[in-house]
Amino acid sequence: DVKVTQSSRYLVKRTGEKVFLECVQDMDHENMFWYRQDPGLGLRLIYFSYDVKMKEKGDIPEGYSVSREKKERFSLILESASTNQTSMYLCASSLSQVRRPQHFGDGTRLSIL
Amino acid sequence: AQKITQTQPGMFVQEKEAVTLDCTYDTSDPSYGLFWYKQPSSGEMIFLIYQGSYDQQNATEGRYSLNFQKARKSANLVISASQLGDSAMYFCAMRAVLSGGSNYKLTFGKGTLLTVNP
């Protein structure tokens, strides 16, 4: 089975801090994604990457950046955390085949105080 | 731009009955795909079923089936013989192919919360 592991299940940070969310997948997937999930809004794509050192903006990239130095790891960075970034963050990965589903991690519930 | 609409914020069903969760979509791409995911209260997203726009038959996976009506742009999920463990949030998502043709991203609907009553 595909395993997508997010480094923290719950995280509490302060306004203005630089926050790193880490995601690792073990199935050699080319594509990796970061979403945020908010009640009533569903999942919204922040950034994605389809190769090492490649990144593309999703629908809501403002206030975020990403890093993909190795194929198995995709990091989401909040450069200066703000309270409106309190949310559930979900990482996903997939093969480069359009019928293949994205596989998700368990999510990180991030609170910015 | 692609859009996914799930009009039912919440649904209730009796155990052992069938339930249909609605999903309509809008896209100008002739080739597209639709996914359904389940999210229990624990938070993980579980892939359920996939339907490609050129697939000749409606997709089925165990108790899950997809009622795909291309002309109406709908891809409703049917769960047969509901179980208490089916209580969860259900998301419909549409695939948008990226440049190069082999990679894609998903656009999600807002979800439907299904509650199965004993």
Residues of A in contact with B53 (CB under 8 A): none
- Answer whether residue B71 shows pLDDT above 70: yes
Residues of B in contact with A30 (CB under 8 A): 103
Task: Quick: pLDDT tens for A41-52.
Answer: 889 999 999 889
Q: In the predicted model, what is the mean pLDDT of chain A?
A: 93
Measuring CA to CA, which residue among B66, B52, B114, B107 is closest to residue B88? B114
- Answer whether residue A12 shows pLDDT above 80: yes
Six-digit token pair at A96? Answer: 């480069």
Can you tell me the mean pLDDT for B68-84? Answer: 96
Using the CB atoms, write b or e for B89-100: b if 16+ within 10 Å: bbbbbbbbebee
Six-digit token pair at A7? Answer: 């480094």
Strands A87-94 and A108-112: antiparallel
- Answer whether residue A100 shows pLDDT above 90: no
Cα dihedral A43, B37, B106, B104 in deg (nearest 10): 150
Residues of A in contact with B42 (CB under 8 A): 106
Six-digit token pair at A43? Answer: 């999942």
Other Cβ atoms less than 10 A from the Cβ of A75: the count is 18
Q: How far is A18 from chain B, CA to nearest CA, in Å?
A: 25
Can you tell me the mean pLDDT for A64-86? Answer: 96
Q: How far is B2 from chain A, CA to nearest CA, in Å?
A: 12
- Answer whether residue A98 shows pLDDT above 80: no
pLDDT at residue B99 in the model: 61
Q: A48 in contact with B at a CB cutoff of 8 Å?
A: yes
